[in-house]
């Protein structure tokens, strides 16, 4: 290549950073902890945590896990390429769900912590449901990071 032929610019994407995940987790933790006293003061009753909410988070974690496994099999194991729009859609979904999962997991942890020491008859119920939802949110984050990793390719470089 001569000096007159400029090299084609190549973009690069970096994996979701630990900093971004940490910021989302801190925001979720503070928000989850603060929502109990705030809503209780305004609405005169705390926000409810239903099993439907919990199961929805767990379902998203399972879907993201399946999509990560399927993408890993396609790209990394079989060496097939995804269509550009499929790869970008999965990457955007993975990044959004990783950050959202961090907020959700930490938010439910914060909400559970806000019930500690509360003598209400519902405290144990909300703590249990919040912990299960937090585990589901963590599952969403981990499965999404796995999907993000599964989308990685060699950038079109020839293999030795």
Per-residue pLDDT tens over the stretch 10-19: 667 788 999 9
CA dist 89 and 37 (Å) reads 38
Q: How far is CA 9 from the centre of its chain?
A: 31
HSE-CB for 48 with a 13 A CA cutoff: 4
User: Is 155 contained in some domain?
Assistant: no
Reported as a pLDDT band with limits 50, 70 and 90, residue 4 is low
User: Is 128 contained in some domain?
Assistant: yes
Residues 46-69 have a mean pLDDT of 96
pLDDT at 155 over 80: no
**Looking at the 3D structure of the chain, how many domains does it have?**
1
User: Is 40 contained in some domain?
Assistant: yes
Q: Which residue range forms the structural domain that includes residue 26?
A: 18-150
CA dist 21 and 29 (Å) reads 12
Who contacts 98 (Cβ-Cβ below 8 Å, separation ≥6)?
A: 16, 21, 140, 141, 144, 145, 148
């Amino acid at each position: 290549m001569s000096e007159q032929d400029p090299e084609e610019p190549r973009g690069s994407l970096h994996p979701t950073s630990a900093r971004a995940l940490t910021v989302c987790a801190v925001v979720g933790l503070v928000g989850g902890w603060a929502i109990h006293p705030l809503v209780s003061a305004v609405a005169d009753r705390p926000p409810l945590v239903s099993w439907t909410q919990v199961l929805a988070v767990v379902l998203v974690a399972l879907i993201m896990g399946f999509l990560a496994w399927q993408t890993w099999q396609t790209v990394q194991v079989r060496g097939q390429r995804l269509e550009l729009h499929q790869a970008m859609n999965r990457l955007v979904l993975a990044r959004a769900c990783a950050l959202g999962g961090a907020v959700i997991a930490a938010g439910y942890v914060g909400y559970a912590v806000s019930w500690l020491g509360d003598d209400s008859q519902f405290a144990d119920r909300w703590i249990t449901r919040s912990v299960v939802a937090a585990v589901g949110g963590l599952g969403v984050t981990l499965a999404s990071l796995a999907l993000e990793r599964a989308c990685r390719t060699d950038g079109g470089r020839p293999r030795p």
